[in-house]
Homo-oligomer: A and B are copies of this chain.
């Protein structure tokens, strides 16, 4: 249907739309995709021809509903494959992104349906990000940043804000994983660092760390 490159542009635009009220700028896309603005312009014309985006010269783009659907479908595939890689093949959650980048372009509706069933219809990926349904709806979850909790609160780790490999590695090293229960023991006023309990372990984490971990508190 669409080329890998087209699909990657749609994904990038969907991502950027979350931060910008009106159209997404050519430069923003170029930066997101590690490419040049001129290449982006060329592609935007192509996507507009295919009714995937609304594009007005010099004014940036927005996804059409077809574009949104398509982009959500790619995110869906990406995140389902991530679940597969972590749950069935036992990859660490910091290793799966690159591989899922490739797998997300495999074209077969039936494959994704069967994969979804095989994984028991997961609603969130290993980073806690929502997996859109077949018709492009993103499920929501009431989650809160670890840094927003107060001493005495506790919750279950359900995701991260920063998904960089270095950050995920840090979490792994310190026993902070999806599903792990975390208690807030102390807060240091000076630098907003926290003393927390994870399983049997007690550790201190900076505000920077705490503001990138999502908990479900109920």
Contacts and interface: CB of A to CB of B under 8 A. Distances in A.
Interface of A: 85, 88-91, 95, 98-99, 102-103, 106-108, 110-111, 114-115, 118
A91 to B, nearest CB: 7
B89 A118 contact: yes
A99 B111 contact: yes
A114 B102 contact: no
Nearest to A91: B114
Q: What secondary structure prevails in chain A residues at the interface with B?
A: helix
Contact of A89 (B90, B99, B103, B114): B114
Given A88-B88, A90-B114, A102-B106, 8 more contacts: A89-B111, A89-B115, A89-B118, A98-B108, A102-B107, A102-B108, A103-B103, A106-B106
How many chain copies does the complex carry?
Answer: 2
Nearest to A111: B99
A98 B88 CA distance: 23
A88 B119 CA distance: 10
A207 to B, nearest CB: 35
Contact of A106 (B90, B99, B108): B99
21 contacts: A85-B111, A88-B88, A88-B118, A89-B111, A89-B114, A89-B115, A89-B118, A90-B114, A91-B110, A91-B114, A95-B110, A98-B108, A99-B106, A99-B108, A99-B111, A102-B106, A102-B107, A102-B108, A103-B103, A103-B106, A106-B106
A13 B99 CA distance: 28
